[in-house]
Structure 1
Amino acid sequence: MMKVLLLGATGYVGSAVADHLTRFGHEVVELGRGAADRPGRGRERRVGDLTDPGSLTRAVTPDIDAVVHAATPTGDAATDAAAVDALLAPLRGTGRAFVYTSGVWVLGATGPDPAGEDAPTDPLPIVGYRPLIERQVLAAAADEVRATVIRPGIVHGRGGGIPALLVNLARDHRAPLFVAPDGEAGGAPVHWPMVHVDDLAELYVAAVERAEAGTLWHGVAEPAVPVRDVARAAGRAADVLAAPRAWPVEEARAALGAAFADALALDQRVAGDAARQRLGWRPARAGAVADLATGSYRTYEVLGSPDAGEDDVRAVAALVAGVEHAQQSELPDAFMSHFRTEDPVWTTAHGRRLAGWEEINAFTHKVLPGAMRESTAVYDIERVLFVRPDVAVVNVRQRPVRWDGTPLADAPEGRPFYVLAKDAGTWRIAAAQNTQVVTG
């Protein structure tokens, strides 16, 4: 077990890092600006401020085994450099760990090939001095500090981060928006390297435990996610079904500030293979598009058995997302993988009753291929009731859409109702019924 001093422990990334350090058996000591805003999580809390170097040095006592800097920078190069020096001073000559948080925006536009950790930096103005801080941290390896830098991609998960901004923009503008560097036409596609906040937190744990001195890591699970797809999924999370709309960068600058808008318009492809190969990092959470469309950015009622935990809720959501993917991609075998093999039943939207795995399988292989040539549908959970820890019923809203994401006004919606059973730890459909919504 290590005792880890964590800056930014109540922030978006820092709170996830604190959770995972604790889960892996480490003791987290939070460093904050004052005792008045104590989060009350049962952790030791020390007082320190990035603008007061002396307070930072005093916080790094001999019992601290590692320091993780995940706090938001001040925006002033001299202040942030002095803060890093103050944190490093007690660590020099001790072999203790120091982990600093940077970001992939220091790379600038990367071109068509994913950039690795050895790629040159070309920082955007919003992170202009960050490479200098990176070098300052890495140079501490020469003074026997196990110093390392993590550059997260665009972080998603837990309903937060920049993707939450896209959800709010979609809700406010009644259309999914993404910042386009070349105006309304959108120009060349923009891509973001992305990572789930809980996967990223596990990379911090790996760095604290075993990263070598003077190393730099890209915290990226998905090297290049099309931002148009992220925006469409954000619209879905905001309950706005529409084609994504390019937001001219000049308009975005007026609303968000020039530096931030330009960063959102940056096209990047960034590799995160080194951490997988050398630290054993294994990002496994849902990708950004799935997380936005059907995961942590959506809200719905969860009722019933208190013995069903968050893992079960996530598994149920993943099952419904899997049904949607199989339908949209016309994959009969993938669709059938979500059914129990033992006596499932299904009543279709047209009232056809199917009983048994073989009958449902034959029907699915007959009707699904070719069914999505011109349009598809999205499946959104509205309510989950856990009747027992191993039995759940799910209300779903099924909406027909064109492939660009716009709804089909002349096509009826469906209301699938699933009865799920947990077999050997895996949730599957035991019974399903779809009912068409008739209006007029």
Structure 2
Amino acid sequence: MKVLLTGATGYIGSAVTDHLVAAGHQVVALTRNAAPRPGRGWHAQLAGDTADPASLAGVVTPDIEAVLHLAPPSGDVDTDTAVVEALAGPLRGTGRPFVYTSGVWVLGATGEAKGVTEDAPTHPVDLVGYRPTIEQRVLAEASHGVRAVVVRPGIVHGRGGGIPALLVDRARKQGVPEYYGKEDVRWAMVHVDDLAELFVAAAERAPAGTLWHGVAESAVPVRDLARAAGRAAGILAAPQVVTVAKAAETFGDLFADALALDQSVSGAAARAELGWRPTGPGAVADLVSGSYRPVEVFGAPEGAETDAEVAAIRRLVAEVEHAQQHELVDRFLSLFRRQDPVWTTGHGKRLSGFAEIAAFTQKVLPGATAYATAVYDVERVLFLQPGVAAVNVRQQPVASDGSRITDRPEGRPFYVLVKEDGAWRIGAAQNTLAVE
């Protein structure tokens, strides 16, 4: 299909462009001006501003086979209604798709309900107060022969952007991770690339007059997100909750209310009926060891293949951390290759062969985290050859609340990883204390 895409230069629009092109579609980007944007993967570019409905006259030409409206709302209900009219009107009677982007904030606080669905009533926070009206205006186009569809994304993460990036920035500036409202607030989350896949699915096969929640994780505790954002910022401290009134001093009343919104939202319908399959990392994992923590990479070309290998290595190191923190002996040992691994511990004990490593681990790991544990962050990866990587890791001792234990030295684990049967394993490891 030839797809007209508004918001094509934005955070979500950039990901949607990538996934539309990968699915074989041609993207016609609507941008505020006609200045060329090389390297975007667009088939064509048109000038038009969704804050000025009159500028959209004629942009939906007869060869446009779908319209995906991802541009942010203007803040004025009449303007946004006119934009829908300008973009959807030319599609009437064609059966072609018009996909509108809303958001789960139109649902308001979901209370004790778990995973509310698309048929739940709307109680929008003031920031998105008129959005349900626009949703209904879009869905009404189904009666005029438009395959009208509404997608409500959760809070979007991934590619180092979105609201989670704000949490990282605030942690870095304040010196402590923060979140807003109450202790138990939860957010419905989705990875930006998973959301992009849902937009592709909606354009390709969603029935007319349907509404879909773009949610991969129904209810992520924001306290956990804040702790992870602190770690991404290099701030190992217990998160603090900030009142809405205090947050409003920084973000304004409307956005502060939205950030404090407690929700549990289901995205099951899109999985069951559109075949949507979210595969991206969860929001907490993405903050801790994903796109919000860049890694220096050497010895391999830039590109998706190298990115995938680095992501797999980071998952392995995250497994080391998880096994250590939860004293999971068998899980920890499963991360070593069976054939002749070697390990020098932080206290200089040399272990040779899997049997020695297993015996040592079975002796020392149970009970090791009674008073403290550690976090592990990949800092550098050197690919020595395909399937062999040298990895520098930063190991920091933390208390049970995630705060840094300042009177204990850091570690600098060094791993030589070997890829066997499609999975990375530890072939050699040396833990070195970093003493000033």
TM-score interval (norm. to shorter)? over 0.9
After TM superposition, list the pairs within 5 Å mapping 1:358-437 onto structure 2.
358-437=355-434
Q: Deviation digits for residues 296-350 of structure 1, max 9, x if unmatched?
A: 1012311112276211121111211121112112222222232222222211112
Q: Per the alignment, do residues 67 and 146 of structure 1 end up closer, same or farther by CA in structure 2, a change over 3 Å counting?
A: same
What's the CA shift for 1:37? 5.5
Q: Which residue number corresponds to residue 237 of structure 1? A: 232
SS at match of 1:283: coil
Which residue among 184, 187, 194 is the counterpart of 2:189? Answer: 194
After TM superposition, list the pairs within 5 Å mapping 1:144-293 onto structure 2.
144-180=145-181, 186=182, 188-293=183-288
Relative to the length of structure 1, the TM-score reads: 0.95
SS at match of 2:363: helix
What's the CA shift for 1:42? 4.5
Q: Is the 8 A contact 2:372 2:399 kept in 1?
A: yes
Q: Per the alignment, do residues 358 and 125 of structure 1 end up closer, same or farther by CA in structure 2, a change over 3 Å counting?
A: same
Q: Deviation digits for residues 344-396 of structure 1, max 9, x if unmatched?
A: 22111122222223332333233223322222111111211111232111111
Q: Which residue number corresponds to residue 52 of structure 1? A: 52
Distance of 1:40 and 1:58 partners within structure 2: 26
SS at match of 2:188: strand
Distance of 1:238 and 1:122 partners within structure 2: 34
What's the CA shift for 1:218? 0.6
Greater shift in the superposed pair: 91-100 or 337-346: 337-346
What amino acid does structure 2 have at the position aligned with 1:425?
G
Q: Which residue number corresponds to residue 13 of structure 2? A: 14
**Cα RMSD between the aligned structures?**
1.5
SS at match of 1:399: strand
Q: Deviation digits for residues 22-45 of structure 1, max 9, x if unmatched?
A: 111111111111112535425210
Q: Is the 8 A contact 1:243 1:406 kept in 2?
A: yes
Q: Which residue number corresponds to residue 116 of structure 1? A: 117
SS at match of 1:36: coil
Q: Which runs of 4+ in 1 moved over 6 A?
A: none
SS at match of 1:359: helix
Distance of 2:381 and 2:271 partners within structure 1: 36
Q: Which residue number corresponds to residue 67 of structure 2? A: 67
Q: Is the 8 A contact 1:148 1:207 kept in 2?
A: yes
**Quick one: percent identity of the two aligned structures?**
65
Distance of 1:137 and 1:296 partners within structure 2: 34
Distance of 1:360 and 1:60 partners within structure 2: 65
Greater shift in the superposed pair: 369-378 or 60-69: 369-378
Distance of 1:169 and 1:35 partners within structure 2: 35
Q: Which residue number corresponds to residue 322 of structure 1? A: 319
* Structure 2: 5+ residue stretches without partners: none
What amino acid does structure 2 have at the position aligned with 1:435?
T
SS at match of 2:418: strand
Q: Is the 8 A contact 1:10 1:39 kept in 2?
A: no
Relative to the length of structure 2, the TM-score reads: 0.96
Distance of 1:42 and 1:159 partners within structure 2: 20
Q: Is the 8 A contact 1:304 1:385 kept in 2?
A: yes
Greater shift in the superposed pair: 50-59 or 390-399: 50-59
Distance of 1:247 and 1:18 partners within structure 2: 36
Q: Deviation digits for residues 383-425 of structure 1, max 9, x if unmatched?
A: 1111123211111110010111111122221110011122233
Q: Which residue number corresponds to residue 80 of structure 2? A: 80
Q: Which residue number corresponds to residue 301 of structure 1? A: 296
Q: Is the 8 A contact 2:110 2:263 kept in 1?
A: yes
Q: Per the alignment, do residues 369 and 144 of structure 1 end up closer, same or farther by CA in structure 2, a change over 3 Å counting?
A: farther
Q: Deviation digits for residues 134-192 of structure 1, max 9, x if unmatched?
A: 10111111112111111111111111000000111001110001112xxxxx4x51000
What's the CA shift for 1:110? 0.2
Distance of 1:373 and 1:77 partners within structure 2: 57
What amino acid does structure 2 have at the position aligned with 1:367?
V
Distance of 1:15 and 1:47 partners within structure 2: 17
Distance of 1:343 and 1:281 partners within structure 2: 43
Q: Is the 8 A contact 1:190 1:266 kept in 2?
A: yes
Distance of 1:220 and 1:430 partners within structure 2: 38
Distance of 1:84 and 1:417 partners within structure 2: 56
What's the CA shift for 1:54? 4.2
Q: Is the 8 A contact 2:107 2:120 kept in 1?
A: yes
Greater shift in the superposed pair: 104-113 or 321-330: 321-330
What amino acid does structure 1 have at the position aligned with 2:8?
A
Q: Which residue number corresponds to residue 183 of structure 1? A: none
* Structure 1: 5+ residue stretches without partners: 181-185
Q: Is the 8 A contact 2:21 2:41 kept in 1?
A: no
SS at match of 2:159: coil
What amino acid does structure 2 have at the position aligned with 1:74?
S
Q: Per the alignment, do residues 108 and 42 of structure 1 end up closer, same or farther by CA in structure 2, a change over 3 Å counting?
A: closer
Q: Is the 8 A contact 1:206 1:279 kept in 2?
A: yes
SS at match of 1:59: coil
Distance of 1:362 and 1:29 partners within structure 2: 61
Q: Is the 8 A contact 2:230 2:236 kept in 1?
A: yes
Distance of 2:3 and 2:335 partners within structure 1: 42
